[in-house]
Amino acid sequence: MEAKAMEQIINEYIKAYNEFDVEKMLKNVHKDVEFKNITNGVINVQLKGLKALKEQAEQATNLFDEREMKIIEHVIKGNTVETKIKFEGTFTVDVPDGPKAGELVKINGKSIFQFEEGKIILIEDIS
């Protein structure tokens, strides 16, 4: 897959994420997608399949009043793209052992996207 096409799919995915548009987010995601959220080296969310990712994404829309993920840069190696990001979000609810409602969270991290058959097959959010 061409680098430009992968970048465009990722840009559309993140734009839809920022707009809380789950359907648009998942438009170019493979049915066998694997998703991992990794914080401080620990996997705290791991999902397999489009249905599971959709459920997680829909639940996540209820966590934030507002959120924005900004792309800093894409680093492309074959069918894998490492996207450096900055994230800001204001929580709607208290998170157990975490931020409280109304609290602004800022995170610098990266997302790794891997492609298969022209769609995203792997997403790893790492902070």
Residue with tokens 């894409």: 74
Rounded-to-integer distance, Cα 56 and Cα 31, Å: 15
Rounded-to-integer distance, Cα 119 and Cα 27, Å: 9
Arithmetic mean of pLDDT, 120-124: 98
Residue type, 84: K
- Convert the pLDDT of each residue in 15-58 to its tens digit: 999 999 999 999 999 999 999 999 999 999 999 999 999 999 99
Q: How many CB atoms lie within 10 A of CB 67?
A: 18
DSSP sequence for 47-112: EESHHHHHHHHHHHTTTEEEEEEEEEEEEEETTEEEEEEEEEEEESSPPTTSPPTT-EEEEEEEEE
Question: Out of 3.90.1150.10, 3.40.50.300, 3.10.450.50, 3.40.190.10, which CATH number does the structure's domain 3-126 have?
Answer: 3.10.450.50
Residue 13: strand, helix, or coil: helix
99: exposed, middle or buried (Cβ count in 10 Å: 0-12, 13-18, 19+): middle
- Convert the pLDDT of each residue in 56-109 to its tens digit: 999 999 999 999 999 999 999 999 999 999 999 999 999 888 889 999 999 999
What per-residue confidence (pLDDT) applies to 95? 84
What per-residue confidence (pLDDT) applies to 26? 97
**If pLDDT is split at 50, 70 and 90, which confidence band does 110 have?**
very high
